[in-house]
Amino acid sequence: MTTTQRGPSLTDPAVADPGGWSAWLGPPVLGTTLDGSPAWYVTRAQDVRFVLSDARLRTSPVGDRSVRDAVLAQLGVSEEVARPLTDSILDAGGVEHTRLRKLVSRAFTVRRVTDVLPHVQRIVDGLLDGLGTRAELVEARAYPLPSAVICELVGVPAADQAVWLRWGESVMTMTDLSATFTEMTESVHALIAARRRDPAGDLVTALVQARDEGDRLSDAEMSSLIATLLIGGHETTTHLITNSVLAVLGHPEQLARLRRDPTGWPAAVHELMRLFSPVHVIRVRYAVEDVEVGGVTIPAGAVVQPVLAAANRDAADRPDPERFDVARQAGRRGEGHVGFGYGIHRCLGAALAREEAAVTLSSLFGRFPELRLDGDPVRTARPGMARVARLPVRTH
Ligand code: HEM
């Protein structure tokens, strides 16, 4: 099978439109993934949940065929440069993943997330204080917030926060990756060394201590973990916030409901994540053996591409899935979507991301009741991601 393969492709410009994904709902179908090689697209909610929880489908390659390495090679990034950061918790499976996740969860506690929440409100308030009558929301407000929060949580010194913003952008836009990976690795190693010498109350210290007490996390594991948190926790949350602002402004009747009852924001964030999450597709899975998914046999060694954006629009999971209803999840248990993944790799930072989005959105719309668009937003296309690059608004 070659690039002449028909079927869905992540490089198809149509995938930039999240609404378009629902048309792909159906049994697994063979298409092409980012490096042009064949991949089975899995779209239905039940099939996605199955794929993400069956041990026969794993995140690390079967044999030496790694889609990610192929994509990185196409972008001129050598394995040696990428490996220290890309070999992360997401690549681990089975007992190795359980061990890593347990250690990280011990450091990344509910308490630590709760402790950072007052900072979230403080950072949001500070950012909104400076918002003029006309503003560009991405650069000015949405972008620095999650980075500041995650840097605070992890323990990145304030002076280094700007450079993490730049690295995050580089990773997301896949530009200058070689230099970025090298600089990030050096910075994370320096941070670990500093906290080992001089412990603080942050996550890096907690990871260092978890390792030193139980001798369980290697420096390499810590580096990739810290980089995963800093990058994974920044861009995604930024774009959830900006996608959400755009979505809510485009649905005045839903905004009116939230204005009448601002306590509805946390439930609204579930619905915003379901329909407007920036993450349309996640890391491919590799079939260790033949696996039947939704009535189709995926052969051993094949690549599977789970499509969260489609699964979240599956009518088998909820009625009228394309309807945006901020109260859909109100009073219900759970999130009601797979936007944060499912199974063993389900997002570690989901609670933090939800909280950041709820605090930011309720503060923004609460303080600026007349908030409206001031020109057309600019979207940037990256396969599998929905991002707004510029979001001009008027606040008064
Ligand atoms: C709106 C914001 C976010 C979205 C949409 C998001 C989405 C996801 C998804 C879909 C996965 C599963 C990937 C897979 O199975 O291939 C994931 C995993 C992960 N996320 Fe997030 N994430 C967000 C924010 C965060 C934050 C704030 C953090 C950290 C502070 C974080 C850390 C992680 C980590 C460490 C994993 C890997 C977990 C594992 O392999 O066990 N994420 N995220």
pLDDT per residue as tens, the chain (396 positions): 344 445 778 777 666 566 678 888 999 999 988 778 899 999 999 999 999 999 999 998 877 667 777 777 777 777 777 777 777 899 899 888 998 898 888 888 888 888 888 889 998 998 898 888 998 888 766 677 888 888 988 999 888 988 988 888 888 777 888 888 899 889 999 999 999 999 998 999 999 887 656 657 888 888 889 888 888 888 889 899 999 999 999 999 999 999 999 999 999 999 999 999 999 999 999 999 999 999 999 999 999 999 999 999 999 999 999 999 999 999 998 888 999 999 999 999 999 999 999 999 999 999 999 999 999 998 876 777 788 889 999 998
Q: Alpha-carbon Rg of the chain, whole angstroms? A: 21
pLDDT of residue 269: 97
Domain ranges of the chain: 13-86+93-394
**Angle between helices 144-154 and 219-232 in degrees, nearest 10:** 150
Chain centre to alpha carbon of residue 286: 20
Token pair of 12 as six digits: 């198809």
Q: Find tokens 């009601």 and name the residue.
A: 336
For the sheet with 29-32, list strands across it.
Answer: 29-32, 38-42, 303-306, 285-287, 57-58
Of ligand 1's listed atoms, the one at least distance from the Cα of 285 is 16
Measured distance between the N- and C-terminal CA atoms of the chain, rounded to whole angstroms: 57
Of ligand 1's listed atoms, the one at least distance from the Cα of 153 is 30
What's 9's DSSP letter?
B
CA distance 396 to 379: 24
Give the total residue count for the chain: 396
How many of the other CB atoms lie within 10 Å of CB of 260?
8
What are the contacts of 387-390 at 24+ separation with CB within 8 A?
387/172, 387/239, 387/242, 387/243, 387/278, 388/138, 388/239, 388/242, 388/243, 388/246, 389/138, 390/136, 390/138, 390/139
| Candidate from 101, 224, 348, 360 with most ligand 1 atoms within 8 A of CB, to mutate | 348
13-86+93-394, CATH topology level: Cytochrome p450 (1.10.630)
CA distance 142 to 153: 18
CA distance 387 to 244: 11
Token pair of 58 as six digits: 């794993």
CA distance 144 to 48: 33
**Angle between helices 265-276 and 350-367 in degrees, nearest 10:** 110
Nearest 5°: phi and psi at 303? -100, 135
- Output the ligand 1 site: residues, CB below 6 A: 89-90, 101, 150, 228-229, 232-233, 236-237, 240, 277, 279, 282-283, 339-341, 345, 347-349, 352-353
CA distance 261 to 349: 27
How far, in Å, from the CA of 340 to the mean position of ligand 1? 6
CA distance 306 to 296: 14
CA distance 131 to 217: 43
Is residue 233 within 8 Å of 353, Cβ to Cβ? Answer: yes
Of ligand 1's listed atoms, the one at least distance from the Cα of 104 is 35
pTM for this structure? Answer: 0.92
Q: Which helix (H) or strand (E) holds 82?
A: helix 79-86
In order of 109, 241, 255, 389, the CA distances from 132 in angstroms are: 37, 19, 22, 19
| Candidate from 156, 203, 340, 361 with most ligand 1 atoms within 8 A of CB, to mutate | 340
Of ligand 1's listed atoms, the one at least distance from the Cα of 146 is 27
How far, in Å, from the CA of 248 to the mean position of ligand 1? 24
Of ligand 1's listed atoms, the one at least distance from the Cα of 100 is 41
* Angle ∠(145,378,313) on CA atoms, nearest 5: 80
CA distance 354 to 41: 27
Is residue 255 within 8 Å of 249, Cβ to Cβ? Answer: yes
CA distance 44 to 22: 9
How far, in Å, from the CA of 237 to the mean position of ligand 1? 10
pLDDT of residue 1: 39
